[in-house]
């Protein structure tokens, strides 16, 4: 009887211990579950942080095997994480501050660094590669340097242009006087050619001055038709010599509030551009009309035209399709029209000619 009691007591203790063990196991399971969830949450947070930065992050383990690459790294190197995870090298070449992806992605300037990764006890568990794209910074530095040089060149151009402009005016004046005195003589023809050449040079100087000092229109009522007639008269003899015919069409007389000198400069730039586009002769058409709230002036030539690949660049400063020339004429023209609240449009076909349309606000 005593043995049975002892046995029952032992079984009771075992059951009690077993129940306690089950409870502890359940508690342990709950804790492990919470810890696992916490670890997963921290991993997701860490992954989100790494993926949110704009610096490429690549982690190599102790054996040099790639274990992690963030989204910035995928984008900069033009690869997918699954393509490089488990490999020992990235498909890139780093040379002179530039990173060259092995695929078709363009090379870019970058700051690249590597550092060891240590665990909590200070043991090396791998290394991390960081890559920051600084292409935009390099572009801004280059742009700043260009602007600095342009500013210095602008000051120099201003001084040179002022020094040259007055003597040129005198040369043009005396050449015109000589051509009038000798108009029935071959020397009169030479004087007219001198005057035309000086006029072209003076126009180039005016473009340089307008570029360096900026454009601030001083508007006054201007008879546009008369202004165009004056300009045509100036170019008439020059155009006749190379066989360029000028036609001028208008539907009525127009008086517009503009800076007469600046609009004159813009029109001359376009006419000179047409002249240079027709070295073997051709037809230059000038048409004035009203289109809604704008006065529209069309200057159309039958010259060699402009390639479609460069058509959107012709108004950029210093861009020129000619071997000679400053590349400022069309840029200044565009700036003059914009300063008057207008716009300029261009259409061109290779070997078919070019048409510029100026739109000036009316009323």
Q: pLDDT tens-digit profile of 136-152?
A: 999 899 888 887 887 77
How many angstroms separate the CA atoms of 224 and 340, rounded? 14
**pTM, to two decimals:** 0.51
Same-domain status, 206 and 220: no
pLDDT at 213 over 70: no
pLDDT of residue 181: 74
Same-domain status, 220 and 331: yes
Same-domain status, 111 and 160: no
* Domain presence at residue 43: no
Among 37-41, 105-109, 297-301, the range with the most confident prediction by mean pLDDT is: 297-301
pLDDT of residue 1: 56
Same-domain status, 353 and 297: yes
Same-domain status, 275 and 326: yes
Measured from the Cβ of residue 139, the count of other Cβ atoms closer than 10 Å reads 11
CA 152 to chain centre: 22
How many angstroms separate the CA atoms of 225 and 14, rounded? 116
Same-domain status, 220 and 98: no
How many angstroms separate the CA atoms of 303 and 284, rounded? 9
- Which of 91, 111, 133 delimits the end of a domain? 133
Mean pLDDT, residues 194-220: 72
Query: Greater confidence, 134 or 45?
Result: 134
Range of the domain at 287: 215-363
């Amino acid at each position: 009887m005593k043995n049975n009691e002892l046995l029952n007591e032992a079984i009771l203790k075992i059951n009690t211990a077993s129940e306690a063990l089950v409870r502890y196991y359940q508690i342990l399971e709950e804790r492990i579950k919470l810890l696992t969830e916490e670890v997963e949450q921290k991993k997701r947070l860490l992954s989100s942080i790494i993926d949110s930065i704009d610096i490429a992050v690549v982690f190599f383990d102790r054996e040099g095997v790639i274990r992690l690459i963030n989204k910035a790294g995928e984008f900069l190197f033009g690869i997918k994480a699954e393509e490089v995870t488990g490999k020992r090298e990235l498909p890139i070449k780093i040379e002179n501050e530039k990173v060259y992806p092995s695929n078709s992605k363009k090379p870019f300037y970058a700051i690249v660094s590597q550092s060891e990764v240590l665990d909590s006890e200070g043991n090396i568990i791998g290394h991390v590669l960081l890559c920051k794209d600084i292409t935009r910074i390099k572009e801004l530095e280059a742009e700043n340097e260009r602007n600095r040089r342009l500013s210095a060149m602008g000051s120099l151009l201003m001084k040179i242009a002022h020094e040259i402009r007055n003597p040129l005016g005198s040369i043009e004046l005396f050449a015109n006087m000589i051509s009038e005195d000798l108009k029935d003589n071959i020397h009169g023809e030479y004087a007219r050619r001198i005057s035309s050449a000086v006029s072209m040079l003076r126009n180039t100087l005016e473009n340089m001055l307008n570029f360096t000092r900026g454009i601030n229109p001083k508007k006054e009522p201007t008879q546009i038709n008369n202004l165009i007639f004056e300009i045509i008269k100036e170019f008439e003899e020059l155009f006749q010599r190379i066989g360029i015919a000028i036609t001028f069409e208008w539907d009525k007389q127009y008086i517009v509030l503009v800076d007469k000198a600046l609009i004159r400069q813009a029109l001359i730039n376009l006419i000179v551009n047409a002249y240079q586009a027709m070295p073997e002769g051709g037809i230059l058409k000038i048409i004035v009309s009203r289109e809604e709230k704008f006065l529209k002036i069309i200057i159309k030539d039958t010259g060699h035209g402009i390639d479609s690949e460069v058509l959107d660049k012709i108004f950029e400063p210093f861009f020129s399709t000619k071997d000679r020339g400053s590349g400022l004429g069309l840029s200044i023209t565009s700036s003059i029209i914009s300063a008057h609240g207008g716009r300029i449009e261009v259409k061109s076909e290779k070997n078919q000619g070019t048409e510029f349309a100026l739109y000036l606000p009316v009323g």
